Chain A
């Protein structure tokens, strides 16, 4: 009998990833994971430095500016404010990535949520007490995001239609719809520029006492923690994981795959919509036409670096928040467009995949992407066989 005696009294077997490989020790695994998560970031920053040199800018000045404008004095609070929507968008992505589904429509889901919040916000605040208004607006934004995932969700669940394309297309459509709403029914009649009404300052989310970080940050953090628990300790999370790892097995063991696909899409859209509510009610208070902060694009690599583990996502998001906040001003200081940060994010993605390749070769541990996500594209654009 090959079962060791100590296993009988073992601690609860964790169903969550990543499980330990028998060959390496637990502590060694942790260190390796740590290293492999940081190395791509470091390499990307170095490559960014090289790029700056090529462009004739000083990397030292740039990165020290990033630190200065992102962290020093009270700037870290600005970074924290940015973390709020980022965390929720990341949460929305994690839910769906764990199920091996690509929801790339986050831009529209965010914008539609935002637009509805400013559209109905003033009226809600005028007629209802603050807490009620907040609750309703949060839900409304979430619903807007969720509804925008319905078509891709149904296409994927019933026909196996590839969701990368459908969510992308819906995103482009949704951004235009948001613009139409901003310039149309939600337009602020008192100004000439295309912009919605502004939510009065007193109705915005209150700040955490002693800081100028709005409580939306805590809300986001709370949601992320709760979601982490749901994803790792409940039957819902396990079903998601089983489906993500092996859709055939999910069907085999009786998981209702269609319902799972649709619900993970809806939850993802909902969370992203809520991220907009938090952001608008906490920071912006209005929406301009043709505005798109595009959080999703830039948060994706960090979601993968964190191996779809929401606890690990938090420090990564913090890093990016600092980079973005500081980088906003740092790029201006060296007269570069802020799009330069996109290059750094792209470099992180690239190095991440390269490290994964090297890591895979030396069998250092689990890869960044779940196998299921990589195989997500193995599905045809539509069902060729019966299975979604």
Chain B
């Protein structure tokens, strides 16, 4: 495997929150202006640190939502009983400072040099790093064909919907709604199963590259399904959002 060694020390810096955008009832995109951001690659994440008045600290990792070259942003889903996500989605205001360090992670990344057919599979807020990849692909004029299969509970839970519906440059976005479908829904319904995966996935013979991100059960099922379709395991990159109540 090709590694990109990151030997630079990752130091904490106080970024200014420049805007907050509500994506769904429980999801907010936070745009940040860090004093010294070295740039990142699509798919990477960053660490956030909150400090209470008495010095108590909580840290979490969040996928970067922005593509390289865009203003830095993370998209955060508020988790019930969470510690950091309720603060970020409900308390944080534009103009506040937010401590962060990054970028982190060098495996679950995509770059415009990769021209393989791109298969992106998102479960819920797992779409966040995949949005960065799709946007990077679009901004760099990549001619890699791309498909995003996005599994969400309801249409109202779809993050970035307006933007995703606007891709017309060789990127296809396919939704499946697992819990409820609006009247007249013509997209897919139910969880991603072998049949839907077989229908959406590029043939293994086309040497596709797959990125799978979502909750553990989604990632396990989808990654195993891709291997069943003949995808070599090293061409299936996974990232998981465990239901730990902590994000």
- To the question of whether A and B form a pair in one complex, the answer is no
- Residues of A whose CB lies within 8 Å of any CB of B are none
